[in-house]
Chain A
Amino acid sequence: MKRWLLIAGRLIIAVIFLYAGFEKVREPWLQFAVSVESFKMAPDSWLEPVSRILPWCEIALGISLIPGILSRWFSLIATGLLAFFLFIGIRASVKGLTVDCGCFGSGHSGAIDAMWYVEHVAMLALGLAVTVGEFLKARERRA
């Protein structure tokens, strides 16, 4: 993979995580907690910590992806998170849950529909490509 393409891909993922995090921290934590609860995965006692911490983790991850230091590991974490988000979306659809994903705050449609799948599969594919590229780059450096 060309170097500039790898950088561009990594920066796109960084921007996605920064945007997702900022949109959520701008809102009361209760808003994101309502979204998290709609997935019926976490006990009530987890809702507040998850909805307070996760957006800041997204921001931290977004910032960490920018300078290119330890980028393969941060890309791997980002891809893992994207895979997890896609998994919980599929799980919600299979269970027939009416979910508001809250991925980018309440200002965006959080319904898990065809568009949601297109977006999330595309983000995951980009994440995978960047992670593989970063690991290959690291191996080339060592060789």
Chain B
Amino acid sequence: MMRYLLLFVPLALLTAQTPAASKKVSNHKALAAASVQKNFKESGSPTAPVSVEIYTDYECPACRQLYMETLPSLNSEFVATGKVHLLHRDYPLPQHQFSKLATRYANAAGTIGKYDVVANQIFVTQPDWSQNGNVDAAVAKVLSPADMEKVRTMVKSDSHLDDSVTQDVAMGNNVDHLNQTPTIVIIAKGKREVINGGAPYAILKQYLDQKLRQ
């Protein structure tokens, strides 16, 4: 009988703690959701064994090529399957006249949950807007008028829109010592490996597979 009583005590304590514990869990979930929403440049599982960070400049043709030829397969085969956590980093190069503007449009779209569609559109239409700087027209084609208005307002007046860009550039200069875009950083077991230039998917896949096997 005593044994049953002893079993009952921790059970009772556990039951008493449950609401608080579940509150903690839900708080955690809310925080995680908020951070996911906030960092719209991230995709994939944050607990993936390998992380890939890609520095790009929206006006750089090699970045466009990487975005259009390598990223779709990387996303479907590694990111969507939970093997790789992907993070886009902005590194607008000073010699590119409209790159900062394009970055503002992408990040403004990110704050309303449209980062992927707008970043994609900006890269796809790069040959057009890089001639005349009309990023607005390119972005307007893929957003609803209401969303476009929100994006325009942020691009015009949001003084914090470039905060993440400043952080990315600082990271690129001080930690990864960038000398070109695109640059791919592969992080596995806490080690950052900086790969200058755009890697074609076939060899990037071989490399990531090896990292995942290690």
A interface, CB within 8 angstroms of B: 28-31, 33-35, 37-38, 44, 47-48, 98, 100, 106
Measured between beta carbons, the chain A residues less than 8 angstroms from B204 are 30
Contact of B203 with A by CB under 8 A: yes
Contact of B206 with A by CB under 8 A: yes
Interchain nearest-CB distance for B92 vs A (Å): 20
Q: Which of A33, A98, A100 contacts B203 (CB 8 A)?
A: A33
Known: A28-B193, A28-B207, A48-B206. A34 touches B186 (CB 8 A): no
Measured between beta carbons, the chain A residues less than 8 angstroms from B196 are 31, 34, 100, 106
Q: How far is the CA of A15 from the CA of B144 in the complex (A)?
A: 62
Known: A37-B200, A100-B197. A30 touches B62 (CB 8 A): no
Q: How far is the CA of A44 from the CA of B198 in the complex (A)?
A: 15
**Contact call A98/B62, Cβ cutoff below 8 A:** yes
Nearest B residue to A44 via CB reads: B202
Size class of the B contact interface (CB-based, 8 Å): 10 to 19
Q: Which of B179, B195, B197, B206 contacts A38 (CB 8 A)?
A: B197
What does DSSP make chain B's interface, helix, strand, loop or mixed?
A: mixed
Q: Which of A30, A98, A106 contacts B207 (CB 8 A)?
A: A30
Contact of B87 with A by CB under 8 A: no
B interface, CB within 8 angstroms of A: 62, 179, 186, 193-200, 202-204, 206-207
**Contact call B199/A30, Cβ cutoff below 8 A:** yes
**Contact call B195/A34, Cβ cutoff below 8 A:** yes
Interchain nearest-CB distance for A86 vs B (Å): 22
Nearest B residue to A105 via CB reads: B196
Measured between beta carbons, the chain A residues less than 8 angstroms from B198 are 34
Interchain nearest-CB distance for B56 vs A (Å): 15
Measured between beta carbons, the chain A residues less than 8 angstroms from B194 are 106
Given A44-B203, A106-B197; 17 other pairs, CB 8 A cutoff: A28-B195, A30-B204, A30-B207, A31-B195, A31-B196, A33-B199, A33-B207, A34-B195, A34-B197, A35-B197, A37-B200, A37-B203, A38-B197, A47-B203, A106-B179, A106-B194, A106-B195
Interchain nearest-CB distance for B24 vs A (Å): 41
Q: How far is the CA of A18 from the CA of B15 in the complex (A)?
A: 68
Q: How far is the CA of A29 from the CA of B195 in the complex (A)?
A: 10
Measured between beta carbons, the chain A residues less than 8 angstroms from B179 are 106
Q: How far is the CA of A47 from the CA of B207 in the complex (A)?
A: 11
Measured between beta carbons, the chain A residues less than 8 angstroms from B62 are 98
Q: How far is the CA of A38 from the CA of B197 in the complex (A)?
A: 10
Measured between beta carbons, the chain B residues less than 8 angstroms from A29 are 207
